[in-house]
Structure 1
Amino acid sequence: MEDQSKDRVDYGSHSNQPWERETLERLVFATLEEQRRQRRWGIFFKFSFVSLILFGFYHFGGLFQHEVDNSAPHTALVDIDGEIDSEGSGSASAVIPALDRAFSESGAVAVILRINSPGGSPVQAGMINDEIVRLRSQYPDKKLYVVVDEMCASGGYYIAAAADKIFVNKASVVGSIGVLMDGFGFTGLMNKVGVERRLMTAGENKGLMDPYSPMSDKQKAYSQAMLNEIHQQFIDVVRKGRGQRLKETPETFSGLFWVGSKAVDMGLADGFGTVDSVARDVIKAEDIVDYTQKEDLPERVLKKFGASVGSAAISAMLKPSKLTLH
């Protein structure tokens, strides 16, 4: 009798175990599915909320904006803040339209170009410089003054040289009239670790500046000649823009940079001033209207959410050696 009782107890425990496991599994899977559903709805509502905001600013933002009366006398302001490159506030595509609007506005008494830049692309700087020269010729009664913030070096100064006058702070960094081409060479390291570079080209110089291949003396001489040519273009622009005000020394075009007070002594700048003081004391139009081309709100929101982080990182990694006015 005892053995039968034990058999019944063991049999009952084995029969209940699958049922309990199955029930627990159903509960766990149901809980997980509910969590997934909540996450999906959460993402949907967040996306819908952002979309509604962007839609509202695109279609209804104009209802809440007041038109600025630019017909009254004022000082036009355009900002360049950061590297002179094909993107951003220092690109020709951003600066030139802003300058065109500022010069063409009847109420703009004069234009201030505020620069805070370490330099950058000689192409972008040259395009902006050429446009300033053109606009000054087209609007001879409308002056353009550069006001330097922290720094106006290299490509930034290339642009500033086209101005009627340049105003700085005593501690601003000004100058660096030179050209550089930077990159890395890994051939020595590759030889040490036994790595062979296999580069095939059609054209003996197609691999010029490839960081994994050595440079021949002929290639070095060619690159240096190109840098010298661009440097001479830079020198010509400064001499033409500054004229008799420039007090040349052997170091003027050496790539060195100076503080604002020294730049004034050297004729690289004309005096000290800020945007407000130049508008008030030089232009005699204290009201300032900003013509700088700004990023629109949707673009700022997308960048805030990191939409462009991936492409920017990939672009940075794949960029080749770059020629810059730094």
Structure 2
Amino acid sequence: MCSRHSRKMKNNKEKPEKWKVVLKVLAILLLLSFIMASCVSFFIDGDYENLDGNTALIEIKGPIMGDDSSFGLFSDDVASSSEITRLIRKADRDSSIKAIVVEINSPGGSAVASDEIAQAVKAANKTTVAWIREIGTSGGYWIASSADTVVANRMSITGSIGVIASYLNFGGFISDHNITYERLVAGQYKDIGSPFRDMTPSERILFQKSLDRMRGYFIDEVAANRGLKKEEVEKIATGLFYLGDEAKDLGLVDELGGRDEVIAIVKEKIGEEVEFRKFSPSRGFFGLLEGVFSRQSFYIGEGIGSGIVKKAQAQSYPSILA
């Protein structure tokens, strides 16, 4: 009787252990399938090179920065000038590539990084076309203007020729909370632009001079790239953005349209059928895995967050879409 009872107890203990093993195996299989599916979707999204194409397609998406390494999770949404210039030069050296198309969807960013990419486009010995999608403003337009031909949708947002260097000033907050900013500098202007104090009149004048000088470089580049008079660009270099059709009337854009128009232009230039070869930043195995996990984790969080926002919007006011 006792032996039968002990065997029954032993069997009952083994059942939970077996279920734990089964659950662990299922979890591992689920994780592996998740990684494989994500990797497949990663490649399907276009992060590869079609070796048969004769026209390089290089994307410039998001804020333009010198390097994307400091953006971590969001590095895929930053246009790195170091990577993009490398891809442009790589495409230019490739004898099978007849033209280079830069697909721009960027509000601009670093003036230096924008100029680096623009100079790389100008230096290319191939036919170059800038294709502005939803937005190509400020540094994004600086780059576009350096191409042989600029194409934009009639509703694309472009232009915004100007320079900005605004910052938050916490001087009043610090004063209101009885916090003192101890200024210790070796050099009169070493802490110019510090957010913990107000600018002096002389500092503001110096800062504005630098911004005006950079704006002058921007205007000179656009005028030279687009074959416009400097005075013409001066009039429209107010920082205001223009829709694609307005930009065409102002001489900032050559053609209105999208992918089909870009293909037609390239075909006419190179004299053969156009097949795009996408040039993307190279990523190693661990970089790929990092990208997969960061993307999926972000999208999970984004999905939860967007669901909450949509629910709140539905309860408060109707959505406005365009």
TM-score under structure 1 length normalisation: 0.68
1:90, distance to aligned residue in structure 2 (A):
1.5
Structure 2 residue aligned with 1:121: 110
Structure 2 residue aligned with 1:161: 145
Determine if contact 1:110/1:283 at 8 Å carries over to the other structure.
no
User: Could you tell me which amino acid in structure 1 is paired with residue 92 of structure 2?
Assistant: F
**Count, aligned residues:** 258
Structure 2 residue aligned with 1:96: 85
- Which of structures 1 and 2 has the bigger CA Rg? 1
Q: Name the CA distance, whole Å, in 2 between partners of 1:182 and 1:247.
A: 26
Structure 2 residue aligned with 1:146: 130
1:69, distance to aligned residue in structure 2 (A):
6.7
Determine if contact 1:171/1:259 at 8 Å carries over to the other structure.
yes
Q: Name the CA distance, whole Å, in 1 between partners of 2:238 and 2:94.
A: 39
User: Could you tell me which amino acid in structure 2 is paired with residue 181 of structure 1?
Assistant: A
SS of aligned partner of 1:197: coil
Determine if contact 1:279/1:288 at 8 Å carries over to the other structure.
no
SS of aligned partner of 1:198: coil
1:293 to 281, 285, 288: 281
1:297, distance to aligned residue in structure 2 (A):
1.7
Structure 2 residue aligned with 1:81: 61
Q: How well do the aligned residues superpose, as a CA RMSD in angstroms?
A: 3.5
Q: Name the CA distance, whole Å, in 1 between partners of 2:132 and 2:279.
A: 17
Structure 1 residue aligned with 2:51: 70
Q: Name the CA distance, whole Å, in 1 between partners of 2:49 and 2:279.
A: 11
1:190, distance to aligned residue in structure 2 (A):
2.5
Which runs of structure 2 are paired with 1:16-35 in the superposition (5 Å)?
A: none
CA spacing shift, 1:208–1:68, aligned 2, 3 Å: closer
User: Could you tell me which amino acid in structure 2 is paired with residue 91 of structure 1?
Assistant: S
CA spacing shift, 1:286–1:185, aligned 2, 3 Å: same
User: Could you tell me which amino acid in structure 2 is paired with residue 300 of structure 1?
Assistant: G
CA spacing shift, 1:247–1:102, aligned 2, 3 Å: farther
1:92, distance to aligned residue in structure 2 (A):
1.1
SS of aligned partner of 2:98: strand
Determine if contact 1:109/1:283 at 8 Å carries over to the other structure.
no
Q: Name the CA distance, whole Å, in 2 between partners of 1:247 and 1:152.
A: 22
Worse overlay, 198-207 or 232-241: 198-207
User: Could you tell me which amino acid in structure 2 is paired with residue 119 of structure 1?
Assistant: G
User: Could you tell me which amino acid in structure 2 is paired with residue 76 of structure 1?
Assistant: A
2:95 to 90, 102, 106: 106
User: Could you tell me which amino acid in structure 2 is paired with residue 160 of structure 1?
Assistant: A
1:114, distance to aligned residue in structure 2 (A):
0.6
Determine if contact 2:104/2:133 at 8 Å carries over to the other structure.
yes
Worse overlay, 99-108 or 117-126: 99-108
Structure 1 residue aligned with 2:250: 266
Aligned identity (percent) is 28
Which runs of structure 2 are paired with 1:1-326 in the superposition (5 Å)?
A: 70=51, 74-85=54-65, 86-87=67-68, 88=76, 89-135=78-124, 139=125, 142-244=126-228, 248=232, 251-283=235-267, 285-293=273-281, 295=283, 296-303=287-294, 304-305=296-297
Deviation by residue 1:140-187 (Cα, 9 ceiling, x = unmatched): xx2100010001100101111110010000000010000010111122
Determine if contact 2:57/2:100 at 8 Å carries over to the other structure.
yes
User: Could you tell me which amino acid in structure 2 is paired with residue 103 of structure 1?
Assistant: D
Deviation by residue 1:184-229 (Cα, 9 ceiling, x = unmatched): 1122232233222123222221111111112111111111111011
Determine if contact 1:70/1:107 at 8 Å carries over to the other structure.
no
Determine if contact 1:71/1:105 at 8 Å carries over to the other structure.
no
User: Could you tell me which amino acid in structure 2 is paired with residue 118 of structure 1?
Assistant: P
CA spacing shift, 1:256–1:283, aligned 2, 3 Å: same
SS of aligned partner of 1:293: coil
